[in-house]
Amino acid sequence: MALLGLLLAGCGGTLPTEKPASLSTAPKPDEQQTAIEREHQRILAAYGGAYEDARLQGLISQAVEKLVAASEQPNLHYRVTILNSPAINAFALPTGQLYVTRGLIALASDTSELASVLAHEMAHVIARHAAIRADQARQAALVSRVVNDVLSDPQTGALALAKSKIALASFSRAQEFEADGIGVGIAARAGYDPYGAVRFLTAMGRNADLKPSASTSDGRPLDFLSSHPATPERVGNAQTSARQFSAPGAGAQDKAAYLTGIDGMVYGEDPSEGYVRGRRFLHPKLGFTFTAPEGFSLDNTAQAVLGIKQGGGQALRVDVVRVPAEQKLTEYLNSGWIENIDPRSIEELTLNGFPSATATAKGEQWAFRLYAVRFGSEVYRFIFAAKQKTPETERVFRQSVESFRRMSLTEIEGAKPLRLKVVSVAPGDTVEKFATQMAVVDQPAERFRVLNGLAANEQVKAGDQVKIVIE
């Protein structure tokens, strides 16, 4: 989503500042450990903290041990952290810290697919790609800037809905291909099906196709696909590498053990950080909810809640800032955080009992309708954008902001995360039948297929185990 987002560099694993020393340097042990821990804490803050699951951690640690033993540098030590994020990402720091999100774990269908990702990231460390990139990133300022030409305060509004962001330098095409080759070899020597990489790259591409804004850049936590594009060329390269080790199906996939390990795992957003249900956004921890206009798809990013209308032409951003209680919201709208604001359009109003203010602003290509709503000690900013401003767009934007309200105690207590459930396929079961059991609004049948590695026209088989999403 190019509009209203933050333009970030490609993702891979290192931070724009305070990077750990590369493997080629020799800092003092205490200084290095402090830097490692500081970076670890920043990653946790950006990806929702660590996801604690002893069974799942054991499964991943066991896979990493096998991969390390089969790698070119079995003396290296890796620390594995599962990140509590629905983003699909995995990365390794030069120091050997491995991170994998539960979103990626949910997408993988067996241990060999997850092993292919872990081996790929280990390969970047072994080939010193991560260390080289860290050195390069120290010499270049990686700056996130606001794409929207009227927003001028990207550093503010980092309260409950906005965690610290990570701008990450991307690996080169040659480095990615090299890591693919090394990673497939590591996985194969560890006894895993080397074709796991091919299947997972394919799943990533299909999963990206389910997102309406998959080809655009926005403020969401960047995913594995952002820095590891599943291009046909890369999939073909992984397939060529796999053929050097065995025929399809020769290595272990460990599907049954993998599905047992992820059964019951949280899927999608954690309600403590707010979550999307269709056009509706709910934040039980902060106690509010609102509904986007008809036709919008919402995305809860680390910087803000972003939305775009199917087909383009309209978008929205909702974030939070702290405005002094004594400052009028009309004054805040005219305080300089928005450029090109029309001072004649500034108006004070009340929405659902909350003190509010509204105004319009004009960019080169977009017209903006702005709302500031005071809710408790914070102010929520609704920024609506339209390529063409009409009475109808004004009406639907106003209707959306008027849906902003306090959640009831019943709603807050009932806000539970979605989870993966592993079930056995019975005779007569079909993809369409399982789709009706999926607690997802958006394309349930297609999402079921992607989650279970099923091709477009492939059906489930009696006796197999599959993943579904339940409340």
pLDDT digits 0-9 by tens, 101-160: 999 999 999 999 999 999 998 988 887 655 554 444 443 333 233 333 333 343 333 333
DSSP-assigned states of every residue in 265-315: -EES--GGG-EEETTEEEETTTTEEEEPPTTEEEEE-SS-EEEEETTSSEE
- Look at residues 464, 463, 440, 436 and name the one whose alpha carbon lies nearest to residue 452: 464
According to the model, what pLDDT value does residue 229 have?
55
- In which band, very low, low, confident or very high, does the pLDDT at 16 lie, cut at 50, 70 and 90? very low
- Look at residues 212, 418, 408, 197 and name the one whose alpha carbon lies nearest to residue 296: 212
Query: What percentage of the chain exceeds 70 in pLDDT?
Result: 79
Tell me the fold of 271-413.
Protein Transport Mog1p; Chain A (3.40.1000)
- Range(s) within the chain of domains with CATH label 3.10.350: 418-470
Q: What is the mean pLDDT of residues 231-244?
A: 82
Residue 424 has φ and ψ, to the nearest 5°, of -90, 145
pLDDT digits (tens, 9 = 90+) for 202-224: 998 898 888 754 333 333 444 44
Helix or strand run (H / E) with residue 132 = helix 129-139
Query: What percentage of the chain exceeds 90 in pLDDT?
Result: 49
Cα-Cα-Cα-Cα dihedral sign, residues 328, 330, 333, 336 = negative
- In which band, very low, low, confident or very high, does the pLDDT at 233 lie, cut at 50, 70 and 90? confident
**Architecture category of domain 418-470 in CATH:** Roll (3.10)
Q: How far apart are CA 249 and CA 438, in angstroms?
A: 29
According to the model, what pLDDT value does residue 136 have?
42
The alpha carbon torsion through 156, 157, 159, 163 (nearest 10 deg) reads -80
Residue found under tokens 């477009």: 456
According to the model, what pLDDT value does residue 329 have?
95
Whether 406 shows a pLDDT value over 70: the answer reads: yes
Exposed (0-12), middle (13-18) or buried (19+): which is 188, by Cβ within 10 Å? buried
According to the model, what pLDDT value does residue 234 have?
78
- Range(s) within the chain of domains with CATH label 3.40.1000.10: 271-413
pTM of the model: 0.73
According to the model, what pLDDT value does residue 448 have?
97
Whether 439 shows a pLDDT value over 60: the answer reads: yes
